[in-house]
Structure formats: structure tokens, C-alpha cells
Amino acid sequence: MADTTKSFEPGQEFTSRMRMMTRERMRWYVDAQPTVALDTGRIERQEPTIHDDDDYARSQGLPGIIADGMVSTNWIMGLLIDTFGDHVARGGSLRTRYIKPVYEDDKLTSHARVTSAEKADGKTAYKLEVWCSNGNGDPVTVGEATVVVPN
């Protein structure tokens, strides 16, 4: 649980635990989409995608399945919530760009670095650089976030 009474300084960096992008993790997100859309109270499935079907992925010019970018976006958001608390889901912003493919069994780590902290009206607005890197240390998802925390 995040200690929301803490304050943070520009340059401070946070890192998540490493997670392997397994076939199961890719499929969980694929299945979540029709499950949310249909809201039947059951897990729903959809047509093959490049995230869960190797043959379909290869038909689209890929070497195999790749992860949906929104998985890494959510993992970055999880790191921000672990650091700043659930204020992250109640205000602010998050922007992520997907710059490299994430393949099955890639080892992903989420990162956030404070770039500014401005206090006003009883709140602190933090701006952060955020990214996910793979096992080689290469960024695969990059972006920025703003988190607003009451003082």
C-alpha cells in the first residue's frame, strides 16, 4: 500500500518488480475485451487476434503473438498507484506510446521518474517520465504522467 503522506523530489525513480509477458497474460487481456463489452457475468472469448493466435499473428507479418500495448500501460499505472496511491485513478493524466514489440516471455519492468513537483492549493502535482523496458533494458513503452496528490 502506498504511503500517501510521503513527498517526492524531481529525479526520484521508482521501479516495479519484473514480470514475464507470458502467453497467459496476453490472453487475459484479449479475453477481458469481450468480457467487458458483453457483461454477461461469464468470461467471453473473441475471434483470433495477433495477441493470442500464432497463425493469425504470422498471417499479419509477425513472427508470433505480441502483447497488446495496453497491458504495459496498465502495468505502468499499477506502479504509479503503488507509489502514489489511488489518487492516480481519480485525476491526472497518463500518455504512453508503444515503440517496440513485446514478445512472448519478454521480461518487462515498469519505471517512473519524477520530473517536477509543484505545490498549490493544498495539493502537489507531480509530473513523471514513465516507461517499460524489456530484459535487454530497451524501452518498449514510453510516456508521461501527471499525478495530483493532496498534501
Partner 1 sequence: MTTGRYVSDLDEGDVLGPVEYTISRFVIREYAHAVELHEDCFQHKNGQIAPPTMVHLDKLRLYKHACPAGTGPHARVHVEYDATIHAPVPAEARLKIEGRVSSRYLKRGRDYVHMEIEMRLAETNALLVSYRDTVILSYKGEEKEGNRANG
Site residues, partner 1 (CB under 8 A): 19, 25, 28-29, 31-33, 35-37, 39, 41, 43, 49-51, 60-63, 66-71, 73-75, 77-78, 81-82, 86, 89-102, 143
Residue 16: name the closest of 133, 109, 142 by CA.
109
Closer Cβ to partner 1, 70 or 117, answer by number: 70
Closer Cβ to partner 1, 82 or 117, answer by number: 82
CB of 132 to partner 1, least distance (A): 12
What is the rounded distance in angstroms from the CA atom of residue 126 to the CA atom of residue 114? 7
CB of 57 to partner 1, least distance (A): 8
- State the pairing for strand pair 139-150/13-15: unpaired
What is the rounded distance in angstroms from the CA atom of residue 119 to the CA atom of residue 50? 44
What is the rounded distance in angstroms from the CA atom of residue 91 to the CA atom of residue 86? 9
CB of 15 to partner 1, least distance (A): 16
CB of 107 to partner 1, least distance (A): 15
